[in-house]
Chain A
Amino acid sequence: MCAPVAVRFRQAAAGYWLSAVPAALLFFFLVTLAKFSGDPIAVTYPWVPSLSLDLSFYVDGVSLLFAILISGMGLLVTVYSAGYLKDQPQLGRYYGWLMVFTAAMLGVVTSDNLLLLYVFWELTSISSFMLIGYRHEDEDARQGALQSLLVTNMGGLALLAGVLLLGLAGGTLEVSDLLNRREQISASPLLAPAIILILTGVMTKSAQFPFHFWLPRAMVAPAPVSAYLHSAAMVKAGIYLMIRLSPVMSGNDWWSSLGIAVGVATLLLGSYMSLCQTDIKLLLAYSTIGALGLITLLTALGSAHALEGAIAFLLAHALYKGSLFLVSGVIDHETGTRDVTQLGGLLRFMPVTAAASFIAALSMAGIPPLFGSVAKEIAYEAGVESGAAIATVVFAGGVSFVFVAVMAGGKPFLDTVPGARKSGHPGHVPFSMWIGPAILGAVTLLLGIFPQSVGRLLIEPAVLAVTVGTGSIDLPLWPGLKLPLFLSLAGIVAGAVLYRFNDQVRRRAAALMPKWGPEKGYELVLKWMNAVAVAQTRLLQTGYLHHYLIITMATAVVIVGIPLLRKNIDIWYRWLGLGLEVGPGELLLALLVVFASIWAVRSKTILGAVAAMGAAGYGVATIYMVFSAPDLAMTQFLIESLTVILFVLVFHRFPGFQRLSSARSRAFDGAIAIAGGLMVTLLVVMAAGTELAGPVSEYFVRASVPEAHGRNIVNVILVDFRALDTMGETTVLGIAAIGVYALLKSKRVKTRGSRQK
């Protein structure tokens, strides 16, 4: 929240200062982890009890793992941004949204209440929209941001529906309670639709087929945003939800079949698409889609081993992909291009970055002793466990990861591209930009060398939290001479071969690419919605005040009038039943109002009409006074006076009335006006004649003095009993005034501008 202020004060160093926030969070979660005993920590604050919506937080192994990942990456990315976005405009907004995003992500992974989780979930969508659209002068950036927002929000709505159904099925919205009610939930007929809806939400968020297309489009975001949102944090929110709910859902046919199908499709599609890319960020984006597919697949398989693989792979992926994204930002920043076919020989210019990039790439390729290899072995094992088909799919994914790793992480630094341009003038890479990849590399190496302790400390609590059975987890660096190892070796060789012939591969793959993807469908829907909106606007908003009035009036008459007439045939009876005593004074006033109205309609000049309308208004105000409503009368008088003043101000320059409309159209207008008047009269009579539960005014009369210490009931209602309403109304007034101001002022600017032309 304070980020924009911080940027104002310390323009250059804001990134460093602000990194204290995620650093503190990281420290907090690490300490929590160190003290973590295996029992979940729960904290609850009531928020909106009437909706069973509490601020309840629940931290167990899974949450801790994600929280550490999020705050750790947040820290590195904030520091990195200080260098990457140096001297860019609107940094305050950028850091502000980055902090909002970090907080929202932490909220997602720590909230216990599913509605609360949904709120945070949408917050991440919105902040991600702002971050992707950071370069908002760029059409592509706006499009990409909008697309990601629309897709993820649509999924968010599905998620909300799904969560509510799950809440109905389980009788609670607290995840911690749901986990203990597996039997009850499994028996519920609501489970299948709930699963489908929740998975839809997961699929949009985690870029699963067929909603994967927003992720590559979101690559217009600055590199740190891509590293954070699109590899480490936001796209993992969907996965987190799947892992979180898997104790309840696993074993359900819908859950596993849908999850496996989506995971397989996404993995294959992402791997395949990544073969055709030349832009480093797109390479990484498509392979991220593939990796997310793999994690979804493993989670949906649901066995303890598969979950272990999912969590380990997720951690490894966040580390190496985050690092590679950051490196891609360094390359882009220093050379001005992200096209791998143009890049080569950067090793000399940025040795530290290159080293970090190699570690990440090797980890991605699954080469020991890096953590990626550990994760990959488990993934292969889980794949082999589930049969040949799944194993093949996982293998295909593995091959593409090797390919992308070499393309994105190795080639720009090592390759000597004949005829490639010398990549601009790569300058000195600032500390803030190489420290992030370097730390990620170090962590990857460290985790890879000591997989046992990582397993015990991080992975085991996470897996135990979401599996039904128990068992110890072990993460071997050396899996033994078994099938997974051979698969892994074969994968590395195959990936290397693919890379050797990467030009041909790219051409072949691109030729096979279908022209019609789900993105086309998204575009069609948007186009169609826009067309409908335009047609409807044309029809209803012609630009003539005359038409607007007719449409508004006629709609009101039809919508309100028809039910009125259908309900009350005995309206005249009620009229008499009211027993109004009309004295001569009131009759005179009524006549005055009627006469003034007629005069206003018949008047030849605008001023005359305005004055007549004012007279009619005064007449009505006097009637209020006769019926002892002085406040109302006073207000009415003033409003009438001000209206007349306003009209005089505007109209005194206008010419007199001219007969521009035909007699027929005037008759039509008159009919509508009369119908409107009749309707309002009927409504008033109805309202006065209907008593639902005794007038509320009696309560106000009684309570006014003792509770609100005022004797003017109207005022007491306005400023005390219904103060919130008044506040809202006053705000509306203010907005209206500013609207009028903007309308009149902007018109003037425009006419002045056109005159200058």
Chain B
Amino acid sequence: MKSLILHTAIRIVMPLLLFFSVFLLVRGHNRPGGGFVAGLVAAASWALYAVAHDAPAARQAFRIDPRVLIGVGLGVILLSGVAGLLAGRPFLAGMWLNPEFAASGEVVVGTPLIFDTGVYLAVVGVVLTIIFVLEEE
């Protein structure tokens, strides 16, 4: 689907969308956002890229196989869970570096954020795997 408008717009929109997705991911614990939505935003930006150019180009620009991303995401999720085990607490128990910031609505860093990052990666991987394959059909 060749469209000059889309082609030009994507150059500006895509970095914005990707930044926005990271923004959503990081603030998710306190305000609207989170790994799932952020992942969808990021995936949508790549889907747009795939529509503007074509799937092989998008695949090339994406550099890694989105299927790998699914595994990496799940691995990150698992790691965030194992962290609890290592600290002698239940699997997936939450642990934070700076919990005192929570009340003020600042970003709190801890295993839930890692977990959410895993979700983010997995969602991007899932959506892009499907979209790339469908587009190549």
Interface 9-residue window, one of A101-109, A592-600, A709-717: A709-717
Q: Count of chain B residues with Cβ under 8 Å from any Cβ of A? A: 55
Residues of B within 8 A of A474 (CB): none
Query: Which residues of A from 599 to 624 have beta carbons under 8 Å from B?
Result: none
For the complex, give the distance between the alpha carbons of A711 and B99 in Å. Answer: 12
Residues of B within 8 A of A649 (CB): 50-51, 131, 134-135
Q: A642 contacts B77, CB within 8 Å?
A: no
Q: A727 contacts B81, CB within 8 Å?
A: yes
Q: Is A639 engaged at the interface, CB distance under 8 Å to the other chain?
A: yes
Q: A646-B130, A711-B30, A741-B129 are in contact. Are A719 and B35 (CB under 8 A)?
A: yes
Interface 9-residue window, one of A195-203, A291-299, A404-412, A732-740: A732-740
Q: Is B37 engaged at the interface, CB distance under 8 Å to the other chain?
A: yes
Interface 9-residue window, one of A359-367, A436-444, A627-635: A627-635
Contact of B129 among A648, A712, A719, A737 (CB under 8 A): A737
For the complex, give the distance between the alpha carbons of A737 and B66 in Å. Answer: 10
Contact of A724 among B92, B101, B129 (CB under 8 A): B92
Q: A719 contacts B51, CB within 8 Å?
A: no
Residues of A within 8 A of B135 (CB): 649
Q: A734 contacts B125, CB within 8 Å?
A: yes
Q: B35 contacts A737, CB within 8 Å?
A: no
For the complex, give the distance between the alpha carbons of A719 and B113 in Å. Answer: 8
The winner among A639, A641, A648, A727 for most chain B CB atoms within 10 A is A727
Contact of A730 among B40, B102, B105, B119 (CB under 8 A): B119
Q: A710 contacts B32, CB within 8 Å?
A: no
Residues of A within 8 A of B102 (CB): 705, 709-711
Q: A631-B33, A715-B28 are in contact. Are A642 and B44 (CB under 8 A)?
A: yes
Q: A719 contacts B70, CB within 8 Å?
A: no
Residues of A within 8 A of B91 (CB): 724
Contact of B125 among A645, A648, A711, A737 (CB under 8 A): A737
For the complex, give the distance between the alpha carbons of A575 and B131 in Å. Answer: 42
Q: Is B47 engaged at the interface, CB distance under 8 Å to the other chain?
A: yes
Q: Is A720 engaged at the interface, CB distance under 8 Å to the other chain?
A: yes
Q: A634 contacts B37, CB within 8 Å?
A: yes
For the complex, give the distance between the alpha carbons of A724 and B93 in Å. Answer: 10
For the complex, give the distance between the alpha carbons of A44 and B96 in Å. Answer: 35
Q: Is A702 engaged at the interface, CB distance under 8 Å to the other chain?
A: no
Q: A631-B32, A711-B105, A718-B36 are in contact. Are A733 and B122 (CB under 8 A)?
A: yes
Q: Is B22 engaged at the interface, CB distance under 8 Å to the other chain?
A: no
Residues of B within 8 A of A740 (CB): 129-130, 133-134
Q: Is A650 engaged at the interface, CB distance under 8 Å to the other chain?
A: yes
Q: A634 contacts B32, CB within 8 Å?
A: yes
For the complex, give the distance between the alpha carbons of A635 and B118 in Å. Answer: 17
For the complex, give the distance between the alpha carbons of A190 and B119 in Å. Answer: 50
Q: Count of chain A residues with Cβ under 8 Å from any Cβ of B? A: 42
Q: Is A744 engaged at the interface, CB distance under 8 Å to the other chain?
A: yes
CB nearest neighbor in B for A732? B126
| B58 → chain A closest CB, angstroms | 11
Q: A714 contacts B99, CB within 8 Å?
A: no
Residues of A within 8 A of B33 (CB): 631, 634, 712, 715
Residues of B within 8 A of A634 (CB): 32-33, 37
For the complex, give the distance between the alpha carbons of A709 and B98 in Å. Answer: 9
Q: A645 contacts B51, CB within 8 Å?
A: yes
What 0/1 pattern do residues 80 to 106 of B give for CB contact below 8 A with A?
010000000001101010010111010
CB nearest neighbor in B for A743? B133
Q: A709 contacts B116, CB within 8 Å?
A: no
| B9 → chain A closest CB, angstroms | 15
Query: Which residues of B from 22 to 73 have beta carbons under 8 Å from A?
Result: 28-37, 40-41, 43-44, 47-48, 50-51, 67, 70-71, 73
Q: B116 contacts A715, CB within 8 Å?
A: yes
For the complex, give the distance between the alpha carbons of A718 and B44 in Å. Answer: 22
4 further A-B pairs in the complex, CB-CB below 8 A; given A642-B43, A719-B34, A724-B91: A711-B102, A712-B30, A716-B29, A733-B122
Query: What residues make up the interface of B, taking CB atoms closer than 8 Å to A?
Result: 1, 28-37, 40-41, 43-44, 47-48, 50-51, 67, 70-71, 73-74, 77-78, 81, 91-92, 94, 96, 99, 101-103, 105, 108, 110, 112, 115-116, 118-119, 122-123, 125-127, 129-131, 133-135, 137
The 6 tightest CB contacts between A and B, nearest first, are A709-B102, A710-B29, A638-B40, A737-B126, A630-B32, A734-B70
Query: What residues make up the interface of A, taking CB atoms closer than 8 Å to B?
Result: 630-631, 634-635, 638-639, 641-642, 645-646, 648-650, 652, 705, 708-712, 714-716, 718-720, 723-724, 726-727, 730-731, 733-734, 736-738, 740-741, 744-745, 748
What are 23 sample pairs from A and B whose C-beta atoms fall under 8 A apart?
Answer: A635-B37, A642-B40, A645-B48, A645-B131, A708-B29, A709-B102, A709-B108, A710-B30, A711-B30, A712-B32, A712-B34, A715-B28, A715-B33, A716-B112, A719-B116, A723-B81, A733-B122, A733-B123, A734-B74, A734-B122, A737-B127, A738-B70, A740-B129
